[in-house]
């Protein structure tokens, strides 16, 4: 089965950080087909390309965290400066460790939720975080069949207001769109969320939003991932 199309990059990531197995799941293929048939998701604003490498940066774009060195930088497509001003759902497509989160946003039809009037903070788990949290069958079920539960899960990762990493740490706690309270501690370029997740590359500035990449899936859904919960390919 062909993997979903990810925008081209000039630097390849270690396999651990961009699991090919996850992108090959039947669920992602079904989501892609559904999006193509309904005309939603990867169209219009959702496919906006980053600004040309020679264009003047729209704002200072500095990201921080241990994973940042493995993500697009410099003049590469998807570098932080090029994503400044992009719609959030478009920017997610250029961050290769967020293929599952981006597919979940499309499957849930939640692109509009990333355009809050007062801005929105996106706490986006990596692909590896989804692998650790859910078995293949459970993730497939979320993406294809249980859309209400999927929307609830995604709202656990959205906070009203476009908050920088320093804003989150200064606040000490934030309330998600799902109504749950997340404690925030940290400093020095990273933060700890709900005593579960750490930011691994924070402070992507996009249109009316901030994206902070985290290494753990938040929320109360049970953990079913692990070696016994994934299909061999």
Residues 38-73 have pLDDT tens digits of 433 333 333 444 544 444 444 458 999 999 999 999
The answer to whether 138 and 25 have CB atoms below 8 angstroms apart is no
Q: How far is CA 2 from CA 10, 22, 160, in A?
A: 21, 12, 36
pTM for the structure as a whole: 0.76
Q: What is the mean pLDDT of residues 181-208?
A: 95
Does the CA dihedral 165-123-163-95 come out positive or negative? positive
* Residues 172, 71, 204: CA angle, nearest 5 degrees: 40
For residues 125 and 106, give the distance between their C-alpha atoms in angstroms, rounded to a whole number.
15
Say whether pLDDT at 14 is over 80. Answer: no
Q: Where are the domains of the chain?
A: 18-47+62-229
The answer to whether 201 and 65 have CB atoms below 8 angstroms apart is yes
DSSP, res 229: G
Among candidate residues 209, 159, 149, the one with its CA nearest the CA of residue 184: 159
The answer to whether 126 and 214 have CB atoms below 8 angstroms apart is yes
* Residues 164, 211, 22: CA angle, nearest 5 degrees: 150
pLDDT band at 17 (very low <50, low <70, confident <90, very high): very low
For residues 232 and 227, give the distance between their C-alpha atoms in angstroms, rounded to a whole number.
10
- CATH superfamily assigned to domain 18-47+62-229: FAS1 domain (2.30.180.10)
Looking at per-residue pLDDT, the higher value among 7 and 90 belongs to 90
């Amino acid at each position: 089965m062909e993997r979903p199309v990810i925008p081209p990059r000039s630097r390849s990531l270690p396999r651990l950080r961009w699991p090919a197995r996850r992108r090959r799941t039947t669920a992602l293929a079904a989501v892609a087909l559904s999006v193509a048939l309904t005309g939603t998701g990867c169209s219009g604003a959702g496919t906006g390309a980053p600004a040309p490498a020679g264009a003047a940066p729209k704002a200072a774009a500095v990201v921080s965290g241990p994973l940042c060195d493995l993500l697009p930088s410099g003049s590469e497509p998807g570098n932080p400066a090029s994503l400044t001003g992009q719609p959030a759902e478009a920017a997610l497509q250029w961050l290769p460790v967020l293929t599952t989160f981006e597919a979940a946003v499309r499957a849930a039809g939640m692109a509009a939720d990333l355009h809050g009037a007062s801005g929105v903070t996106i706490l986006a788990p990596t692909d590896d975080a989804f692998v650790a949290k859910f078995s293949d069958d459970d993730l497939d079920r979320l993406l294809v069949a249980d859309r209400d539960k999927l929307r609830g899960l995604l709202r656990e990762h959205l906070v009203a207001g476009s908050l920088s990493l320093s804003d989150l740490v200064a606040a000490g706690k934030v309330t998600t769109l799902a109504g749950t309270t997340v404690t925030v501690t940290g400093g020095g370029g990273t933060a700890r969320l709900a005593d579960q997740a750490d930011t691994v590359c924070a402070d992507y500035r996009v249109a009316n939003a901030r994206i902070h990449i985290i290494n753990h899936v938040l929320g109360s859904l049970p953990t079913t991932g692990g070696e016994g919960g994934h299909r061999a390919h």
